[in-house]
Chain A
Amino acid sequence: MSIQQSIIQFIEEKTHSPLIDLTDNLLGTIKSFDFMMLMLELEQKFKLKLPFEQALSTNLRQIDEFICWVELHHES
């Protein structure tokens, strides 16, 4: 499963909604606790080291921006 699919599936499970708008604010969609769980799950699943503090910066608010950011770390 790709990073994008994993993130979307995680959000769908938490929100119980099959229709995720990727331009929505990530922290407005899932709880901060779930956000931390998602980060940890991504780190373990894709053997990543994500700079956690950066994940909350202003240019990573939307779900699609967050997906790109994780993918970028995966590629590098």
Chain B
Amino acid sequence: MKVNNASKSTTTDITNSKRSLIKQKTISLGIRLLVSTLLKLTRNRRKKLVQNIGKTILRFANKTRKRAINNIINAMPEFSIKEATDLAFDAYGNCAYGVAESFWLSQIEPDIFCDEETLQILQSGTGACIATMHIGCYEAVPLAVAKFAKQSVTLTNIPDFLADTMDFYSEVNITAINKKSENAFSELVTRAGNNAYISLHCDLYANQTEVTFFGQKTKAPSGVVLLAKLTKKPLLLAYAVYQDDGQVQVFFETLTSDKLAEQNTEQETTQESEQTVEQVMAQIYQRFEQIIRQYPSQWYWSYNRWKNYSS
């Protein structure tokens, strides 16, 4: 009797996994077809179409829309409800396009901006950790890194149905490590040790380090800062935004490096020269806030960013 039950359950498992595989393949095929259709359009028409699809989705996604509007009003109380609503729709449309562009990264030629020291770090080939954010073209930062360095690595949260289309990263020399994979962390650390340039999005909520963001206390993922400290690599901040003509601009800034540490040591002889994780995160979030205020219609406002966190 027991044997029969086990055999029944095994058969059900196999059928379920087959069904799930067929579902994944069908969605994957659908996406491939959609992408190849979009690629037949000019970049401008493609942009308008994807933005409109994004705005239409938001119209029907009540919870997401309300959260975006609330987030905008909480962050920038000077905005009226109408202004916040318009911004929520614009931002959602822009972000839809920013995400969609991951499918044709090889067609993007970003303009890159950085100072001399940051350029040296990017060209040195000795690696760095890069704190980035969900603004403008999401994957343009690792894409820009790949123009300088051999090893541009990023962590992704790709849904299963897209896993076999992940070659859009390798096409442009980006190594994408799937967050869900069992060895994701080991692989990330190994690559960091092998002088890779690791770009990690860290503007979402994570129950890690307390930060103040738009005047409100919340928590943030600080893995990128810890990784930089432990691997003794420079820490950069980078973001990619669209210009009015659709051109992508990627900006890199140095947050911590040996050179900066030396300067700080000379200036602060009595204080501890190395910044704590909390201090570096505060610096990152201050810059994130400035960047979002500069490009409010390009940041993804719909995240449950502040959650119900209170210190």
A-side residues, CB < 8 A to B, are: 27, 32-33, 35-37, 39-40, 43, 50, 52-53, 56
Contacts and interface: CB of A to CB of B under 8 A. Distances in A.
Contact of B185 (A27, A40, A43): A27
A32 B230 contact: no
Interface in B209-268: 221-223, 226-227, 229-231
B4 interface: no
B185 A53 contact: no
Interface of B: 185-186, 189-190, 192-193, 206, 208, 221-223, 226-227, 229-231, 277
29 contacts: A27-B185, A32-B185, A32-B223, A33-B206, A33-B208, A33-B222, A33-B223, A35-B185, A36-B223, A36-B226, A37-B226, A39-B230, A40-B226, A40-B229, A40-B230, A40-B277, A43-B230, A50-B230, A52-B193, A52-B230, A52-B231, A53-B189, A53-B190, A53-B192, A53-B193, A56-B185, A56-B186, A56-B189, A56-B190
Contacts of A33: 206, 208, 221-223, 226
Given A27-B185, A56-B186, A36 B192 contact: no
If over half of A's interface residues share one DSSP class (helix, strand or loop), that class is named, otherwise mixed; here it is: helix
Nearest to A58: B186
A32 B224 CA distance: 12
B210 to A, nearest CB: 14
Nearest to B194: A53
Given A32-B223, A36-B226, A56-B185, 17 more contacts: A27-B186, A32-B185, A33-B222, A33-B223, A35-B185, A37-B226, A39-B230, A40-B230, A52-B192, A52-B230, A52-B231, A53-B189, A53-B190, A53-B193, A56-B186, A56-B189, A56-B190
A37 B222 CA distance: 10
Nearest to A32: B185
Nearest to A27: B185
A53 B231 contact: yes
A58 B39 CA distance: 45
A36 B230 contact: yes
A56 B223 CA distance: 16
A46 to B, nearest CB: 15
A33 B179 CA distance: 13
Closest 9 CB pairs of A and B: A53-B193, A36-B226, A32-B185, A52-B230, A56-B186, A56-B189, A39-B230, A52-B231, A33-B223
